[in-house]
Structure 1
Amino acid sequence: MSNVLDQINAAHREISTYPVATGEGRSLLLRRTYDASADDVWDACTDPKRISRWLAPVTGDLQLGGAFQIEGRANGEILHCDKPRLLKVTWEYGQGSVTEVEIRLSKDSKGGTVFELRHASPAEIVDELVRTQGPAGAVANGAGWDLVLLGLDGFLQGEDLDTARWKDTPQMREFTIRSYHAWGAASQAAWGISADDIATVVEYAVQQFAPGSSRGSNS
């Protein structure tokens, strides 16, 4: 695995308002560049045999309008598919939690691929999460997507990252905590929270969700 700090710094993160099918929404955005062609990145994100090697087994009718299931994560419907530029799906991980995930690919100036992932949720879902957990819930959710992008990076470099075995290692804890801090900064910008309050939010996320904590799980 590449240096943890390098992996964290490779991505741009932001939280913002964003329209969804039901109206106003909130989104987590991750953007980074991979040293691979757009076709290769697209294939890694859409070929079920390849997806299972860096994310989880996926089943279903994998075409426009079809339904899919990602083992242990989410299920949904394929809303838009424009190879190799745009993939948009619903992302459902519990009753009443229909959200949307969008992946956009574009070439960068050095021949690699700019990968952009946006996870948009109806405003009421995010606002309730923030009301009950503070921004810590959004911080933990963003860190979950950081781990997904880490797995994709390793796969594109020829390393199958077994996150199940890696989850209890010191490297995983360090990666997660650094991710929480990065998403804490994004949360501060989105909600206008003071630096002291964000530090409290991040510490809460570490205690509740990071590997080795009382709950020790990630979204």
Structure 2
Amino acid sequence: MTSTSTIDPVATAGLMTREVRDGSRDGTPTKIAVARRTYDADRDDLWNALTSAERLPRWFLPVSGELSVGGRYQFEGQAGGQVERCDAPESFDITWEFGGQVSWVTVSLRPADGGTTLELVHEAVVDPDFWKRYGPGAVGVGWDLALLGLGLHLATGSTNDASEFEAWTLSPVGVEFVRLASTGWADAAIAGGDDTDSARAAGARTIAFYTTQPEA
């Protein structure tokens, strides 16, 4: 694996474009977090890394189930759900089911200069109090970290060391990455219409959550 000691938190956090907007499903208001990052990889290879049961554990988590339309999947110790649509190698839709809550994820790939742009759209019905407390960073920072791990895997083709990655997340460099990612999601929330002070406060609490620091 590419050593986490080589990660520049400012440059790496800056690779992600973040967007937050309001949505609706069956008349129920939702919040939508959009993450975009361009990888130095061809689309077929990136698609394989995202959809292969053999490769997913190499950068994310072990997965079981049936990774085909109508099938159900389960990430070890994390979310599960159903594959609702798959148009290889362009995009797929899945449900994201965790803690008794169901949300929806769409992943799309499109060719970019010298690589492939990944767009991940995560839509959820969010409790207003939870949104006020943590904002989009609650889910967004998790995706930042996952897509960072994907980038490390794509750079070498090797398997990420989960224990090394977890330790890095709590290191000064990792904490700085989380801070920058959470701040980026707060900025996206403000651009999407959230109150500036509330969004900044929620971002600070998200940083504390991911870095196991006491909340203010």
Match of 2:185 in 1: 183
8 Å contact kept, 1:67–1:75: yes
Structure 2 partner of 1:202 = 203
Q: Distance in 1 between matches of 2:210 and 2:91?
A: 32
Q: After the TM superposition, which residues 34-113 of structure 1 pair with which residues of structure 2 at under 5 Å, given as runs?
A: 34-95=39-100, 97-108=101-112, 110-113=113-116
Unaligned runs of at least 5 residues, structure 1 = none
CA distance in 2, matches of 1:168, 1:24: 35
Q: For 1:121, which of 120, 124, 136 is the aligned residue? A: 124
Deviation at 1:121, TM superposition (A): 1.0
Q: Could you say if the C-alpha distance between residues 98 and 133 of structure 1 is closer, same or farther in structure 2, counting changes exceeding 3 Å? A: closer
Residue equivalent to 1:146: 144
Distance 1:66 1:26, change over 3 A: same
CA change 1:26–1:5 in 2 (3 A) is: same
Secondary structure, counterpart of 1:157 in structure 2? helix
1:169 matched to 2:171: yes
**Given that residues 139 and 187 in structure 1 are in contact (C-alpha distance below 8 angstroms), is that contact kept between their aligned partners in structure 2?**
no
Distance in 2 (CA, whole Å) between partners of 1:213 and 1:40 is: 37
Cα distance in 1 between the residues matched to 2:138 and 2:102: 18
Do the aligned residues in 1 keep the contact of 2:91 with 2:109 (CA within 8 Å)?
yes
| 2-structure distance, mates of 1:185, 1:68 | 33
* TM-score with structure 1 setting the length: 0.86
Query: Which amino acid is 1:77 matched to?
Result: Q
Measure the CA separation in 1 of the matches of 2:57 and 2:26: 29
The match for 1:214 is 214
> Which residue of the partner structure matches residue 154 of structure 2?
156
Distance, in Å, in 2 between the alignment partners of 1:68 and 1:155 is 22
Displacement of 1:168: 2.5
Task: Go from structure 1 to structure 2 and tell me whether the alpha carbon gap of 1:37 and 1:69 turns closer, same or farther (over 3 Å shift).
Answer: same
- Which digits, 9 at most, give the CA deviation of each residue in 1:91-113, with x for residues without a partner? 00021x111111000001x2310
Q: Which amino acid aligns with 1:200?
A: A
Structure-2 change in CA distance of 1:193 and 1:48 (3 Å)? same
| Whole-Å separation in 1 of the counterparts to 2:135 and 2:201 | 13
Percent identity of paired positions between Structure 1 and Structure 2: 32
Aligned-residue CA RMSD (Å): 1.9
AA at the equivalent of 1:203: A
AA aligned to 1:180 is S
Deviations 1:43-90 (A, max 9, x none): 000111110010000000111100000111100000001110011100
Q: Is the aligned partner of 1:136 residue 2:103?
A: no
